[in-house]
């Protein structure tokens, strides 16, 4: 695609000369040079502060590593990537303001990076109005549901609906069918509430109690007595800086006679599994988007990805074993940046005037093979819903480590289309 772009430049210069506009040739040459050498500017909407700060830090490190790889390999259409990072405070209002700055102040080609779903909801309308392609790394079902716009895509990470649909059969068959759910009281948690409830019912199970917890809560003891005695499985997914407190207090509440426990690793992202008070987690289960610990069947791609982002076999920083990564989610930044690169090359992207072509090129993508560019696993992208589907992992805590016990198929995660963004005008 780089060669095609160069051919287009030569055609432009040749055409100007052939038309007798020789005086303009230096100007055209300067224009062509600027177009070919100016960096691709990507606005990185980063949760530097607020409840998403731990994710924001590791999303940043992963983004830097991906950009280094892509630039070392020649960039995109011969142009280097430049990241313009702005802190959204994990806040919807600030998120929209950041998207506006990317478009009007920083002259970004695209925006990417957002994780927390309420921030995506607050930011996506601005991206649509400004016609700025907005690539989120969020997991919420907001994109695939059709609630957003054609400029918003989630091509590098799967969504909650597909994840819980794939988890429910394993939970019902191996852990129990009477479930109590504990989740954060905002859009991400509501996706879990709605879609896991439906998924476990499809397996002949039921949710006995939904316990919604404010995302800024710092103590959780008062919530646990709401768990019905007949509960067979406690399903938990919490986020934010108090997750370690949540898991410790849950252990103190249950003591040695705990029910089966199935969690989404969000409840322990960036938390050391060997932290005092987490011993009770041995024998419990977690969903992982990508296994934190290097597994016995580790792929060459996972090994290369860890090396690139500076993560050891335990999922912590190679420079500080206490600095635990958000490994189950941050791969989404790496994979999304490679999707942007592939889309720009397929569309011969030269500037903002080609944004619609870029989106159409990505909408045309389907199979994404497992590779160094897609180390989490193979995927299928659905251009109609702007959502990617991929394998999921279930791990069991054994001696303080997460050991993979189940890998779903991509088919386990798929559901009927709820939208068709390709029918929407740009």
Euclidean distance between CA atoms 371 and 299, whole angstroms: 9
Q: What is the mean pLDDT of residues 391-409?
A: 97
Question: Where does the pLDDT of residue 187 fall: very low under 50, low under 70, confident under 90, or very high at 90 and above?
Answer: confident
**pLDDT for position 255:** 86
Domain boundaries, the chain: 2-159+330-390+416-423, 160-296+391-413
Which residues have C-beta within 8 Å of that of residue 42, sequence separation ≥ 6? Answer: 81, 82, 83, 84, 108, 109, 110, 111, 112, 337, 340
Sign of the CA dihedral running 230, 235, 239, 241: positive
The CATH number given to 2-159+330-390+416-423 is 3.40.50.2300
Euclidean distance between CA atoms 351 and 5, whole angstroms: 12
pLDDT at 183 over 80: yes
DSSP string, 329-352: HHHHHHHHHHHHHHHHHHTT--SG
Whether the model pTM is above 0.85? yes
CB 143 within 8 A of CB 386: yes
Q: What is the mean pLDDT of residues 126-132?
A: 98
Token pair recorded at residue 257:
């006679």
Can you identify the CATH homologous superfamily of domain 160-296+391-413? Response regulator (3.40.50.2300)
**pLDDT for position 423:** 97
**pLDDT for position 282:** 93
**pLDDT for position 35:** 53
Domains 2-159+330-390+416-423 and 160-296+391-413 share a fold: yes
Tell me how far the alpha carbon of residue 421 is from its chain's centroid: 20
């Amino acid at each position: 695609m780089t060669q095609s772009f160069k051919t287009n430049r030569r055609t432009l210069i040749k055409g100007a000369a052939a038309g007798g506009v020789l005086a303009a040739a230096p100007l055209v040459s300067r224009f062509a040079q600027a177009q070919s050498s100016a960096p691709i500017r990507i606005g990185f909407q980063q949760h530097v502060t607020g409840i998403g700060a731990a994710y924001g830090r590791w999303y940043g490190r992963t983004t830097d590593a991906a950009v280094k790889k892509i630039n070392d390999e020649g960039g995109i259409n011969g142009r280097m990537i430049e990241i313009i990072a702005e802190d959204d405070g994990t806040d919807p209002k600030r998120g929209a303001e950041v998207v506006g700055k990317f478009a009007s102040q920083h002259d970004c080609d695209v925006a990417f990076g957002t994780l927390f779903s309420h921030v995506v909801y607050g930011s996506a309308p601005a991206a649509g109005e400004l016609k700025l392609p907005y690539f989120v790394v969020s997991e919420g079902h907001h994109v695939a549901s059709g609630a957003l716009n054609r400029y918003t895509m989630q091509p590098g990470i799967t969504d909650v609906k597909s994840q819980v649909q794939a988890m429910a059969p394993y939970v019902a068959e191996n852990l129990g069918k009477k479930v109590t759910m504990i989740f954060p009281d905002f859009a991400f948690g509501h996706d879990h509430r709605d879609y896991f409830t439906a998924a476990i019912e499809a397996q002949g199970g039921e949710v006995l109690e939904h316990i919604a917890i404010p995302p800024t809560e710092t103590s959780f003891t008062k919530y646990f007595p709401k768990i019905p005695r007949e509960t067979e499985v406690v399903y938990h997914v919490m986020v934010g800086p108090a997750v370690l407190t949540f898991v410790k207090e849950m252990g103190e509440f249950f003591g040695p006679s705990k029910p089966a426990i199935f969690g989404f690793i969000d409840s322990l992202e960036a938390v050391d599994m060997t932290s005092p008070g987490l011993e009770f987690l041995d024998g419990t289960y977690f969903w992982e988007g990508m296994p934190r610990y290097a597994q016995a069947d580790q792929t060459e791609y996972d090994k290369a990805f860890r090396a690139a982002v500076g993560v050891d076999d335990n999922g912590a920083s190679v420079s500080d074993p206490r600095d635990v990564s958000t490994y189950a989610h941050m791969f989404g930044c790496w994979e999304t940046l490679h999707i942007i690169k592939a889309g720009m090359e397929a569309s011969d992207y030269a500037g903002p005037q080609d944004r619609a072509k870029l989106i159409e090129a990505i909408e045309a993508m389907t199979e994404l093979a497992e590779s160094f560019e897609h180390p989490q696993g193979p995927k299928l992208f659905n251009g109609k819903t702007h959502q990617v589907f991929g394998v999921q992992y279930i791990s069991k805590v054994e001696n303080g480590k997460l050991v993979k016990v189940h890998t779903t198929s991509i088919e386990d995660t798929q559901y009927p289309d709820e939208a068709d963004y390709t029918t929407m005008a740009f």
